[in-house]
């Protein structure tokens, strides 16, 4: 009709084109049928929000079933079992953000921490954090629901099963669940507890993070103690003579352990290198010991003795610890001489242009670090544990302070590595020039 060539109806070319128009089984069409990553991400976020609303609704209705005089005590107990894992999930989320910024800024964090090729990326870290964020509140909701409906035995099994599952995932000996990363993490923990070898950057970096998570270890100790003594889903532990209560001597011992580990690392580093700054760093961690044990004495001395003698010593030791730690963060860990290079690694990025040279960045980081260093002393003090929501908030803020600290500490280490490599290259070039000069002279 339009002057074109006539094509037979049974032509194979015509059948092929018709199949293509109908969406034949070609790779391009298969890819087109797949949903976009943005759509999948929005769907996951929607499911996450629906799940969160369901947990809140079930938990709230379950709590409202209880009598008013029993409700606060039960929430205090339930919070004890699950809040350390929530804080750990928060730390994992923030660590993923740290890795994302390092990747965007061009900092080779795998080289800094001496990681192998199978190390976790920020996406995989966020995946782990997402599962932690889902599993822990779900177990907590089940615990509250079962207890409020009279199923005390099933409720008591929830934290036990959750803790056992986490331990099994960490020590699982087979090549699944990021085996190499789990092995690296457990090996680093072993090196922290027993510093029998030269201290690497990953060793004291993780040990510093552990000092910010003493709240997690303290509550884990109390939770495991209650599981061992079969006190889960009861309120007997709130009595003053309870073996797992606030009067337990194990609480200050657990609080002080991360600081002792870090102190031993500093002493080991001084033995290996002979640097006097390692001794000064060890002195910084030793200032946390009086804060912890003077606070614990409140439960073991007369009230008048505590008020007139031990409390002023506790306040003095708190000021010394906070001031010394704040000074060390700025001058040693962050190196204020390089503060103008905030987030500015080997390549410029969005964060570099947003934050580089901004006065508010310096004011915020220094001011928030000072305030949170002082408030963290509140958590180190066992006699201030009665308001668990306040303590949880302060513990979360301390994790946020450590999140900020990581940026500048890793940047400082990355700059040192670059400067060292540049010095080595310049020395090699100088030696080559001297060699060439001597060869020309001999000729």
**Confidence class for position 271, pLDDT limits 50, 70, 90:** very high
Query: Is pLDDT at 269 greater than 60 in this prediction?
Result: yes
Distance CA 33, CA 334 (A): 50
**CA 255 to chain CA mean position, Å:** 17
From the number of C-beta atoms within 10 Å of its C-beta (0-12, 13-18, 19+), residue 40 rates as exposed
The burial class, CB within 10 Å (0-12 / 13-18 / 19+), for 15 is exposed
pLDDT at 92 over 90: yes
pLDDT class for 95, splitting at 50, 70, 90? very high
Q: Is the dihedral of CA 145, 148, 150, 154 positive or negative?
A: positive
Cα–Cα distance, 291 to 379 (Å, whole number) = 10
Range scoring the smallest mean pLDDT among 27-41, 86-100, 273-287: 27-41
pLDDT in tens, 22-64: 445 555 555 555 667 788 888 888 998 999 999 999 999 998 8
Contacts within 8 Å (CB) and 24+ apart, 402-407: 402/91, 402/208, 402/209, 402/212, 403/91, 403/94, 403/95, 403/97, 403/98, 404/365, 404/368, 404/369, 405/208, 405/329, 405/333, 405/334, 405/369, 406/95, 406/98, 406/209, 407/98, 407/101, 407/342, 407/343
Number of H helices, E strands in the chain: 18, 0
**What is the pLDDT at residue 15?**
45
For residue range 301-320, list pLDDT tens digits in order.
888 888 899 889 988 999 99
Share of the chain above pLDDT 90, in %: 38
Say what angle helices 214-228 and 250-273 make with each other, to 10 degrees: 130
Output the six-digit token pair for 399: 């994790």
Q: Do 110 and 180 meet the contact criterion of CB atoms below 8 Å apart?
A: no
For 382-428, what is each residue's pLDDT tens digit? 656 667 788 888 889 999 999 999 988 888 888 788 777 666 666 56
Most confidently modeled range among 241-245, 304-308, 348-352: 304-308
- Give the Cα separation of 310 and 304 in Å (integer): 10
Task: Report d(CA 168, CA 161) in Å as an integer.
Answer: 10
pLDDT at 4: 43
Domain ranges of the chain: 47-171+224-236, 298-402
End-to-end CA gap in the chain: 90
């Amino acid at each position: 009709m339009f002057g074109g060539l006539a094509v037979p109806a049974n032509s194979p070319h015509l059948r092929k084109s018709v199949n293509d128009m109908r969406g034949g089984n070609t790779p391009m069409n298969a890819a087109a049928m797949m949903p976009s990553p943005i759509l999948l991400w929005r769907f996951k976020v929607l499911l996450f929000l629906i799940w969160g609303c369901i947990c809140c609704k079930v938990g709230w209705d379950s709590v409202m079933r209880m009598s008013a005089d029993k409700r606060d005590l039960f929430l205090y107990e339930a919070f004890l079992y699950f809040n350390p894992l929530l804080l750990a999930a928060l730390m994992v989320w923030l660590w993923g953000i740290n890795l994302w910024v390092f990747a965007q800024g061009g900092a080779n964090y795998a080289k800094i921490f001496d990681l192998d090729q199978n190390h976790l990326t920020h996406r995989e870290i966020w995946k782990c954090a997402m599962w932690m964020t889902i599993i822990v509140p779900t177990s907590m909701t089940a615990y509250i629901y079962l207890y409020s409906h009279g199923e005390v035995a099933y409720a008591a099994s929830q934290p036990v099963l959750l803790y056992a599952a986490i331990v099994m995932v960490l020590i699982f000996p087979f090549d699944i669940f990021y085996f190499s990363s789990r092995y690296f993490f457990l090996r680093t923990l072993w090196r922290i507890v027993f510093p029998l070898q030269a201290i690497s950057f990953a060793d004291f970096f993780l040990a510093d993070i552990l000092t910010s998570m003493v709240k997690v270890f303290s509550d884990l100790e109390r939770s495991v103690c209650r599981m061992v003594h079969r006190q889960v889903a009861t309120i007997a532990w709130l009595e003053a003579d309870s073996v797992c209560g606030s009067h337990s001597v194990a609480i200050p011992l657990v609080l002080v352990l991360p600081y002792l580990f870090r102190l031993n690392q500093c002493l080991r580093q001084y033995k290996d290198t002979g640097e006097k700054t390692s001794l000064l760093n060890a002195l910084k961690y030793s200032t946390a010991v009086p804060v912890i044990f003077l606070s614990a004495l409140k439960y073991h001395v007369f009230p008048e003795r505590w008020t007139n003698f031990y409390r002023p010593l506790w306040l003095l030791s708190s000021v010394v610890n906070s001031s010394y730690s704040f000074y060390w963060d700025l001058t040693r860990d962050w190196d204020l001489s390089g503060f103008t290079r905030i987030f500015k690694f080997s390549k410029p990025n969005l964060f570099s242009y947003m934050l580089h040279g901004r006065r508010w960045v310096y004011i915020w980081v220094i001011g928030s670090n000072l305030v949170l260093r002082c408030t963290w002393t509140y958590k180190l003090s066992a006699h201030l544990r009665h308001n668990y929501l306040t303590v949880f908030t302060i513990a979360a803020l301390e994790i946020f302070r450590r999140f900020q600290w990581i940026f500048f500490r890793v940047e400082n280490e990355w700059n040192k590595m670059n400067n060292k490599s540049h010095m080595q290259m310049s020395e090699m070039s100088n030696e080559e020039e001297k060699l060439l000069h001597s060869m020309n002279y001999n000729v």
